Structure 1
Amino acid sequence: MIENTAISHAIDYILAHINEPIHVSEIAAHCNFSKHHLSRLFKAETGEGIYEFIKRLKIEQSAFRLKIEQARNITDISGDYGYSSSNYSTAFKQHYDVSPVEFRRTILQKSRINPIFNNASAGWESFEECKRKITIDFLPDYYVVYDRHKGSYRSLSEHWCAFLEKHKAYRTDETLLIERTYDDPNITNTDNCLYDLYMTVPEDSPLERTCYLNGGKFAIYHFEGFVNQIYHALQSIFTVWLPQSGYIIDERYSFDIYRKIDGMYMEIDFCIPIK
């Protein structure tokens, strides 16, 4: 778990400004640290240097856009993350060992393999199947206590158990359990995935690691099924429904609201920010 709250705030700043030039001095000022002190703490907490982390996120988030926005020009997508065409191709190949063009050509087929369960999907849902499960709605802001982790999604269940045990005194029948996963495990190394666990709490709670989870306009896919079907559903949303829906994914990050958990069976609202 990322224990240091200041480093978590630094990551929040990076995520919020990933489409802009980001300088360590700006992040350090945001966290009220010196550049040297922030860099040392960041490396200790995340296992990555801060510049290394920023560069990786820019490349991987652009790669996700290459995957879900197949009709967009590669140059336009790379420009969104501050790259010129030639610089992007070089940086991309250094990270993935293939060009952006080759990556885009093969990523949809590669994404049929679930890297968490190491099994192949029989086929994604059709646009109509997804559409029947999706509603468009406006969600409120949620006040939450949270833990942040960097590592494999395979550890989610273990971390949820520890998180709920730690905050069990604040859980009621009205409590919402919310999860935010920032990475597609077919794009990001499974050991580098970033994810947050949230639980709604009263705004006057004395807990330290709290924040507002911003609401707004979302496409909400109402999932009912088993854990090993979640990846398949998410891939269907992003690679089938979204490109044909007429909506554009917003800069905000998706999150999932757990509605029911019964062993391996789950009912979850996958909330995709749209505009």
Structure 2
Amino acid sequence: MITKEVINQAIDYILQHIEEDITLEDVAEYSHFSKYYFSRLFKEQTGESVYGFIKRVKLEQSAFRLKTEQERRITEIGADYGYSSSNYSWAFRKHYSMTPVDWRRQSCFSSMAHPFFHHESWQAESFEVCDSKITIENIPDYYVIYERRFGSYEDLRRDWDGFIEKYQEYITAKTKLLERTYDDPAVTSAGHCLYDVCMSVGEDCALKNTAKIQGGRCIVYHFKGHAKQIYAAYQTIFLVWLPKTSYELDATKSLFDIYHAVDSETMYMELDICIPVKE
């Protein structure tokens, strides 16, 4: 878990400016620390250097867009993250051990091994089935207590148990449990997935680890089923549903889930997958 709020704020700053030529000096100045002290603190909290984190996130976000923006030229997507054509291909191959062309071809598969339930496969839904579960809504902002982690989404069940026990005194009849995710596990390795477990609270909450999850216009997929089916739902939205619609993702906001029901024994869940889109 990332325990220093200044590092969480720095990560937010990096993610909001990831398509810019952002540097260590920029992030350190934003955080009001010398670049030497900040570099050491960032590495202690995340296990990565600031430069390494920025470079990795740029490549992984570009890989996600290669998958979801099939009509765009590969060189255009690379250029969005500051790469020339030759540099992008070289950097991408070094990170993924394949070219951007091969990655895009592979990522079009609608059925493959499940990244968490390793003895299961997953199958994408049809556009029609997915569309029947989706509404377009204006979601309110949520003020939340949160804890941020790098790791595997497989650890979420354990993380939630500890989080709820730790903050149970803040739970009321109006409390919402939310989960904010930043990475596609088909793109980012298990140990590097970034996510927040969150609990809605009033804005007068005195804890330091509070934040506002921005709502606004969202694609809302109403999920009901076993936890192992959530991955297929996400992939269907990005690989099947979005390419056939005119909606564009709002890259300035994070995706988040709002939980409505969870059975810890059967792993049956009801939740809303909220994906911000441009107005």
Which bin holds the TM-score, normalised by the shorter protein? Answer: over 0.9
- How far does the alpha carbon of each residue in 1:108-164 deviate from its partner, in whole angstroms, 9 at most, with x for none? 338622111124535211111111100001111111110000011111111111111
Report 1:63-212 matches (<5 A): 63-109=63-109, 112-121=112-121, 123-212=123-212
What is the match of residue 267 of structure 1? 270
- Aligned partner of residue 195 in structure 1, secondary structure: strand
Instruction: Supply the distance in 2 between the matched residues of 1:254 and 1:203 (Cα, whole angstroms).
Output: 21
The 3 A distance-change label for structure 1 pair 122 and 51 is closer
- Aligned partner of residue 112 in structure 1, secondary structure: strand
Instruction: Supply the distance in 1 between the matched residues of 2:201 and 2:41 (Cα, whole angstroms).
Output: 29
Instruction: Supply the distance in 2 between the matched residues of 1:111 and 1:50 (Cα, whole angstroms).
Output: 35
Q: What amino acid sits opposite 2:57 in the alignment?
A: L
Instruction: Supply the distance in 2 between the matched residues of 1:183 and 1:22 (Cα, whole angstroms).
Output: 20
Instruction: Supply the distance in 2 between the matched residues of 1:184 and 1:248 (Cα, whole angstroms).
Output: 17
Instruction: Supply the distance in 2 between the matched residues of 1:109 and 1:129 (Cα, whole angstroms).
Output: 18
The 3 A distance-change label for structure 1 pair 205 and 238 is same
Instruction: Supply the distance in 2 between the matched residues of 1:30 and 1:161 (Cα, whole angstroms).
Output: 34
The 3 A distance-change label for structure 1 pair 171 and 122 is closer
Instruction: Supply the distance in 1 between the matched residues of 2:119 and 2:185 (Cα, whole angstroms).
Output: 13
- Aligned partner of residue 94 in structure 2, secondary structure: helix
The 3 A distance-change label for structure 1 pair 103 and 63 is same
Conserved? CA contact 2:111–2:123, under 8 Å: no
- Cα RMSD (Å): 1.2
Structure 1 stretches of 4+ moved >6 Å = none
Structure 2: which 5+ residue stretches go unaligned? none
Structure 1: which 5+ residue stretches go unaligned? none
Instruction: Supply the distance in 1 between the matched residues of 2:76 and 2:195 (Cα, whole angstroms).
Output: 28
Q: What amino acid sits opposite 1:102 in the alignment?
A: D
- Aligned partner of residue 187 in structure 1, secondary structure: coil
Report 1:197-236 matches (<5 A): 197-236=197-236
Instruction: Supply the distance in 2 between the matched residues of 1:93 and 1:204 (Cα, whole angstroms).
Output: 48
Conserved? CA contact 2:110–2:239, under 8 Å: no
Identity %: 53
Report the TM-score when normalising by structure 1.
0.97
What is the match of residue 27 of structure 1? 27
- How far does the alpha carbon of each residue in 1:17-61 deviate from its partner, in whole angstroms, 9 at most, with x for none? 111111111111111111001100111111111100000000001
The 3 A distance-change label for structure 1 pair 114 and 122 is closer
Name whichever of 141-150 and 108-117 sits farther off.
Answer: 108-117
Instruction: Supply the distance in 2 between the matched residues of 1:178 and 1:150 (Cα, whole angstroms).
Output: 17
What is the match of residue 61 of structure 1? 61
Conserved? CA contact 2:114–2:122, under 8 Å: no
Conserved? CA contact 2:93–2:100, under 8 Å: yes
Report the TM-score when normalising by structure 2.
0.96
Q: What amino acid sits opposite 1:254 in the alignment?
A: L
Instruction: Supply the distance in 2 between the matched residues of 1:156 and 1:244 (Cα, whole angstroms).
Output: 31
Instruction: Supply the distance in 1 between the matched residues of 2:96 and 2:156 (Cα, whole angstroms).
Output: 26
Conserved? CA contact 1:216–1:273, under 8 Å: yes
Q: What amino acid sits opposite 1:259 in the alignment?
A: H
